[in-house]
Copies of this chain bind each other. A is one copy, B any other.
């Protein structure tokens, strides 16, 4: 950045921490805030400071929360018999937005990856082990990513859940709703064929 003032330069640099913020857009962003959004910028600064300092993890599902239990875990109307395991908080939001799930979650800190040094301990398996001891639990829904590491993690979790006698399910693989076959990759299409459902069954 061409410097017009040390503090403006510092702001441009600090904005680069945001995802997808290159040098040019950080510059534009800084000037935009200074020019048109001083109050909004100040509010963002204050909320951001509080959030970075205070947001911890939900004691039960390990999603981000500034309260002991997150909003989802604290919601008694949800089905405590179902537990869905995901590998990132974003996945919880995606599932919530789908509106198709009323159970609870458990958020791993990523998939296990021995090469990257993420073993059972690092991704939070001990907490998961404690969590599935819950008496009310009946079904474990595996929703880890469908890559190699996610699949291996799912396998690992499934083994633990089997010992506990839980029903184990996983998200269906297949063709995205509204998608044409020519936009679907071969492996997805192969799975969609293999797990094809009878017409009468698919009408729900």
Q: Please give the residue numbers on chain A whose beta carbons come within 8 Å of chain B beta carbons, in ascending order.
A: 1-8, 10-11, 13-15, 17-19, 27-35, 37-55, 58, 63-67, 70-72, 88-90, 92-93, 96-97
Looking at A4, A41, A64, A97, the one whose CB has the most chain B CB atoms below 10 A away is A4
Contact of A49 among B1, B40, B49 (CB under 8 A): B49
Q: How far does the alpha carbon of A33 sit from the alpha carbon of B43 in the complex, in Å?
A: 17
Contact of A46 among B37, B49, B55, B70 (CB under 8 A): B49
What copy number does this chain have within its complex?
A: 2
B97 touches A31 (CB 8 A): no
Which B residues are in CB contact (< 8 Å) with A51? 7-8, 10-11, 30, 33-34, 41
Q: A4-B65, A18-B33, A19-B28 are in contact. List 19 more A-B contacts (CB 8 A).
A: A4-B64, A4-B89, A4-B92, A4-B93, A5-B64, A5-B71, A7-B47, A8-B55, A13-B47, A17-B37, A18-B18, A18-B29, A31-B93, A33-B52, A41-B48, A41-B51, A42-B49, A42-B52, A48-B48
Contact of A19 among B6, B29, B67, B71 (CB under 8 A): B29
Q: How far does the alpha carbon of A72 sit from the alpha carbon of B58 in the complex, in Å?
A: 50
Q: How far does the alpha carbon of A13 sit from the alpha carbon of B50 in the complex, in Å?
A: 14
Question: Would you give the shortest CB distance from A32 to chain B, in whole angstroms?
Answer: 5
B19 touches A32 (CB 8 A): yes
A2 touches B93 (CB 8 A): yes
